[in-house]
Structure 1
Amino acid sequence: MRVVFAGTPETAVPTLRALLASRHEVIAVVTRPDARVGRGRRLEPSAVAVAAEEAGLPVLKPVSASDSEFLDELRSLKPDVGAIVAYGALLRRDLLDLPEFGWINLHFSVLPAWRGAAPVQRSIMAGDEVTGATVFSLVEELDAGPVLGTITERIRPEDTSGTLLERLADLGSRLLVDAVDHIEDGDIGAIAQPEDGVSYAAKLSTEDARILWDRPAFAVDRQIRGCTPAPGAWTTYDDARLKVGPVEIAESSDLAPGEARITKREVLVGTATEDIRLGRVRPHGKKEMDAADWGRGLGGATTVSLR
C-alpha cells in the first residue's frame, strides 16, 4: 500500500516508524508548519517532520489542509490510503476522498468515549480505570467514523498523561499498521460507533490545570497527573505561580484546604479529605526542585497558604 502519513507531535512518531518498518510504502508525510517555541521563540519543525526528514521522506507543511496547491501535490502522489495520528487540523471532504481507501485515524481512547483533543488527560482526570486506542475511518464529524480496531490498556495509579500516552502511542502504532495490512488484504470491515457512551475531551486550558484544594485528595491527585507534563498543574504562593508535579496522598487529614505544612523533609497540603505530600515543584522563574527544598527556602516558615 502507498501510504501518506499525517501527524505532528512526538506521540505520532512511533506510528510513522512502524509504517516505515512494515510492508507498506510511506510516500510522503504531512505535518503542521514549523512553530515558534521556547523563550527565544525560535522556529522549529515538528517531531514528525524531524523523524520524516531523518528517514529521507518528502515532508509537506501546508498552512491549511484545504490549500489547493497542497491538494494537487497530494493528488499527484496517488496514495492508496492516508494514516493520521494527532495531526492537529481537520480534513475536509475533498482531502478525505483523495486516497483510494480514504484516511484512517489512530485516536487514544476507546471510542466513542473521549472524542476530541485531550482523551488521555481527561480519562485520567475522570478516574477511568481502563482506556485504550482506536483506529477508525475518518469522517468529517469529530472522531465519529466507523471503527476498524481497538486495544485497551489499564490506567496505573501512578500514571501521568505523559507516561500513559507514551504506552498508548507504542501499542497504537501496531494497531494502525495491522489495520493497513488488513485493508490491503481486503479482509477487514468497519463497525459503526454506538450512539451511547459518547463523551468529549476538550483541550486542557491553563485554568483547567489550576489546583482546587477544596476538592477531595483523590481528585487533586487525578487532576495533577492528568495535567502532567502539559499544561502542567499549578497553584499560587504569595501571588506567584507554583507548578506542581505528581503527589502522594498522606495518611493525615488535619490541614485546611490549601494550607501547607513545611518540615525539613516534606511539604503537606490540605484538601477536602486527606492531606497530600508534594513531590516536585517549580516556582515561577526557577528550575524544578523537590518540594522540601522549596519549603526550606521560604525563610523558616512552617505553614503557608496555597491558592
Structure 2
Amino acid sequence: MRLVFAGTPEVAVPSLDALLSSRHEVVAVVTRPDAPAGRGKRLTPSPVAQRAEAAGLRVLKPEHPRDPAFVAELTGLAPDCCPVVAYGALVPQHVLDVPRHGWVNLHFSLLPAWRGAAPVQHAVLHGDTETGATTFRLVKEMDAGPVFGTVTDRIGPSDTSGDLLERLSRSGAELLVRTLDEIEDGTARPVPQPEQGISLAPKISVADAELDWSQPAEVLDRVVRGCQPAPGAWTTFRGERFKVASATVTDQSLLPGQIAVTRKAVLVGTGTTALELGRVQPPGKKAMPAADWARGVQLAPDEVLGPR
C-alpha cells in the first residue's frame, strides 16, 4: 500500500522505521511544524521530521490538517492509508476520508481505557498493573474508532512512563505493520469498542506533577514514575521548585515533608511511610543523586520539602 505516515515525537519514530522496512511504500510524512527547543529556543524539526528527512522522504508540516493547501497535497499523494502515531492534532472528517482505507492510529493503551493524550502516564498514576497498545480506525470522536488489534505489557513496580513508552513504541510498531498487512490482504476485522470501561487521559500538566507529601507513599511513588520523564514530579525546597526523578517506598516513619539524611539515604516523610529519594534536580542544576544534593546544601534540622 501507498502510505502517508503522521507522527511527531520520538515515540513515533520506531513505527516510521518499521514501516520503511515493511512491504508498504511510505511516500510522505505529516508532522507538526518546527517548534522552539533547547536553551536557545531555536526552531527545531520534530523527531519524526528529522528521521523522515534523513530517509529522503517528503515532509509535510501543516499548521492544521484542515488547511486547504495540505488537503490538496495529501489528496495528490493518493495514499491508500494514513498510519498515525502521536501526531498531535485533530484530523477533520473530510481529511480522514482522503485515503481509501482511512487513517489507522496506534494508541498506547488498551482501548477503551485511557483515551487521550497521556494514556501511559495515567495508567501509572492510577496504579494499573497492565497496559498495552491498540491499533484502530481513526474517527471524529477521540480514540473511539473500531479496533484492529492489541499488544499488552505488564507495568512493573519500578516502571516509569518513559520505560513503558520505550517498550510500547517498539511492540506497537510491529502491531501497526501487522495491522496494515491485514488491511491490504483483506483479512482485517475491526471490532467496535465497548461502551463499558471508557476512561480519559488528558495531558498531564505541571500542576498535576506536584508532590503532596500528605498523600500516601504509594501514591507519591506513582506520581514520580508517571511523570518521568515529563513533565517531571516536583516539590519545593527553600521556596524554589525542586524535581524528584526517582524514589522508593520504605518502611520508615517521618512527618509529611520531613527530611532525614542517613549515611546512605535521603528520606522524606509522607502521609504513610517515608520515600527514599533517588535522583533529584535542584533549581538551576543538573539531575544528581539525592545523597550528593544533601551533602551540598547543609540542611538545617527542621527543613522540609514542600510548603511549610
Normalising TM by the smaller chain, what interval?
A: over 0.9
Residue range with higher mean Cα deviation, 153-162 or 297-306: 297-306
Q: Which amino acid in structure 1 is aligned with residue 278 of structure 2?
A: G
Tell me by how many angstroms 1:301 deviates: 2.9
Point out where structure 2 has 5 or more consecutive residues left out of the alignment: none
> Take 2:252 and 2:261, find their aligned partners in 1: how far apart are those partners?
14
Does the residue aligned with 1:52 lie in a helix, a strand or coil? helix
Matched letter for residue 262 of structure 2: T
RMSD, aligned CA: 0.8
Please say if residues 102 and 137 of structure 2, whose CA atoms lie closer than 8 Å, have aligned partners that are also in contact.
Answer: yes
Give the drift of 1:177. 0.4
SS at match of 2:73: helix
Aligned-residue offset at 1:264: 3.7
Could you say which residue in structure 2 is the equivalent of 1:167?
167
Following superposition of structure 1 onto structure 2, how do residues 1-307 of structure 1 map, counting pairs within 5 Å? 1-253=1-253, 255-307=254-306
Letter in 2 for 1:193: Q
- Checking the alignment, whether the CA contact within 8 Å between 1:135 and 1:176 is kept in structure 2 is yes
Contact 1:31 1:49 in 2 (8 A): yes
Aligned length: 306
Deviations 1:65-97 (A, max 9, x none): 101011101101110000000000000011100
Relative to the length of structure 1, the TM-score reads 0.98
Percent identity, aligned pairs only? Answer: 58
Q: CA deviation at 1:300?
A: 4.9
For 1:301 and 1:272, locate their aligned partners in 2 and report how far apart those are by CA, in whole Å: 22
- TM-fit CA distance, 1:287: 1.3
Q: CA deviation at 1:293?
A: 1.1
3-state DSSP of counterpart to 2:162: helix
Please tell me whether the aligned partners of residues 246 and 280 of structure 2 are also in contact (alpha carbons under 8 angstroms): no
What letter corresponds to residue 160 of structure 2 in structure 1?
Answer: T
Q: Is the 8 A contact 1:263 1:302 kept in 2?
A: no
What one-letter code is carried by the residue in structure 2 that aligns with 1:197? G
Q: For the Cα contact (< 8 Å) 1:262–1:302, is it kept in 2?
A: no
CA distance in 2, matches of 1:161, 1:181: 29
Q: Deviations over 1:25-73 (max 9, x none)?
A: 0010000000001221111000000010111100000011101011101
Residue aligned with 2:235, SS = strand
Q: Cα distance, 1:297 vs. partner?
A: 1.4
Query: 2:113 & 2:302 partners in 1: Cα distance?
Result: 42
Q: Which shows bigger deviation, 78-87 or 289-298?
A: 289-298
Deviation at 1:265, TM superposition (A): 2.6
> Residues 237-292 of structure 1: CA distance to partner in whole angstroms, max 9, x if unpaired?
11011100111111212x11111112343210011111110001000011111111
Q: Distance in 2 between matches of 1:102 and 1:182?
A: 14
Gaps of 5+ in 1: none
For residue 200 of structure 1, give the secondary structure of its aligned residue in structure 2.
coil
**Displacement of 1:296 after TM fit?**
1.2
